[in-house]
Chain A
């Protein structure tokens, strides 16, 4: 129904974008792979190994009263929650690089906390998305199985590696995410001419109501196998760095597998409740959880997101998105310099 598709795109206020299979698959795959590769390059680089042998500074908290840090953490995560909602990213991707770069907490605790923050956001949003049929359990389950297994492996690797190496790889990954955010396009209603055999046999398809048009949208997916394979990389990175993985979930679900944008965003958010759960358990069992960090962060980011969603009605999302990209660039650079023991402007 090409006419109907064009109508849908125009009513949604978005130009219709046709999914040219190979280039888009390749672009997303390359972007995710570049992020992973940057991390791996840093992991294997001799200077990173050398830096790992240097001791991390013992304390940065100095004589500051103990209660200042949770209070500042709460304020910061509140602002992060607003920015994350406006910028269309999860909280974890801002939380881990910024808090690990500028707070005295050790990276082990920041990653554990980052996963719990992302998990709480996903748990809060998940039920609503599932009830509205925007998040699809049938789409999420195969993906979650792969991503959560790989997230466990990522978490174990992340906890076993020296801090400097993880911090440097985190910085490289954040810069890779920036590149992904700047280059990846979005397709509100990707064109899926025919579901592939795997998604057909698993009946991965759905229906939801597009409120802006009063239309019921039927969707199906294709390129299921390449999509599932990309979730191996996404899972490992989510577990290793304590990042929620919405930044990677959405492009893969939307551009590679062809799920509508709203379904991709909602399913990605729900998916985090499973992927981050598996990695979070590894951090919790390891003891890498300090409640004085977790609760202020969790409450701060949830309240901030609550406010952010309301500001979104009057804000200019494009400007905020660039601001988030700028913040990530800054935090990524800080993480790299901290990991390598190099001086930084802050």
Chain B
């Protein structure tokens, strides 16, 4: 580490600032969507799949049993809702909140995609490779292909 007496901090890299900008916008959109959809859900404006007063009957179960039980008692789908299947029941208040949650969870992928052109232009091969790999890994995680269970 070295110190100098320069008064101003030099600007961060171009791709870092771009990443920050996309992250900030995505975070605000996700947060607002989460709060708005939650308000619609709890106020009853959009009816939930699982009535809120019955939630304590389910949240003590492990996730597998929870999905089975809520599907059997309320959703009546061919399969319990997991992966991206929540998109098919967006008309239900509780599943509508997933829009905000997935936006918050997905904004990092958008950030990485956003900086790849800049990294390519700067011929920063190692970081291009890292960014592409990270996008692939996060996309794989988001895809729902990696299914696990009890």
Contact = CB atoms under 8 A, between A and B. Distances in A.
A163 B133 CA distance: 32
Given A65-B53, A132-B12, A277-B108, 13 more contacts: A1-B2, A104-B59, A116-B101, A116-B104, A119-B104, A123-B27, A133-B12, A137-B115, A145-B133, A215-B3, A216-B3, A285-B83, A292-B52
Interface residues of B, number: 78
A289 B98 contact: yes
B4 interface: yes
A65 to B, nearest CB: 8
Interface in B1-38: 1-13, 15-17, 19-21, 23-24, 26-27, 30-31, 34-35, 38
Nearest to B9: A209
A133 B11 contact: yes
Interface size class of A (residues with CB under 8 A): 35 or more
A104 B55 CA distance: 11
A286 interface: yes
B51 to A, nearest CB: 9
A148 B53 CA distance: 37
A278 B146 CA distance: 11
B108 A152 contact: no
A189 B60 contact: no
B55 A285 contact: no
A202 B126 contact: yes
Interface in B71-95: 80-84, 94
A243 interface: no
B64 to A, nearest CB: 8
Interface in A69-86: 69
Given A141-B134, A278-B141, A190 B23 contact: no
A13 to B, nearest CB: 16
A1 B67 contact: no
Interface in B117-148: 126-127, 130-131, 133-134, 137-138, 140-144, 146-148
Interface stretch (A34-42, A154-162, A310-318, A326-334): A154-162
B1 A191 contact: yes
A114 to B, nearest CB: 14
Interface string A1-34: 1001101100000000000000000000000000
Contacts of A208: 9
Interface string A98-113: 0000001111110000
A290 B67 contact: no
A183 interface: no
Contact of A286 (B82, B94, B106): B82
16 contacts: A56-B62, A109-B66, A123-B23, A123-B27, A123-B30, A138-B16, A142-B130, A152-B140, A159-B63, A160-B148, A163-B62, A201-B126, A277-B109, A286-B82, A287-B67, A287-B81
Contacts of A4: 2-3
Interface of B: 1-13, 15-17, 19-21, 23-24, 26-27, 30-31, 34-35, 38, 41-42, 52-57, 59-63, 66-67, 80-84, 94, 97-98, 101-102, 104-109, 115, 126-127, 130-131, 133-134, 137-138, 140-144, 146-150
A207 B56 contact: no
Contacts of A215: 3-5
Nearest to B13: A137
Contacts of A293: 59
B89 to A, nearest CB: 12
Given A127-B21, A148-B138, A209 B82 contact: no
A288 B70 CA distance: 13
Contacts of B148: 155-156, 159-160, 282, 286
A41 B138 CA distance: 30
B148 to A, nearest CB: 4
A141 B104 CA distance: 19
CB-based closest 6 A-B pairs:
A209-B9, A130-B20, A127-B24, A281-B141, A291-B97, A61-B56
Contacts of B31: 120
A260 interface: yes
Contacts of A149: 137
A344 interface: no
Nearest to A68: B56
B133 A192 contact: no
A102 B61 CA distance: 15
B91 to A, nearest CB: 15
Given A141-B127, A216-B9, A286-B149, A124 B84 contact: no
A180 B48 CA distance: 44
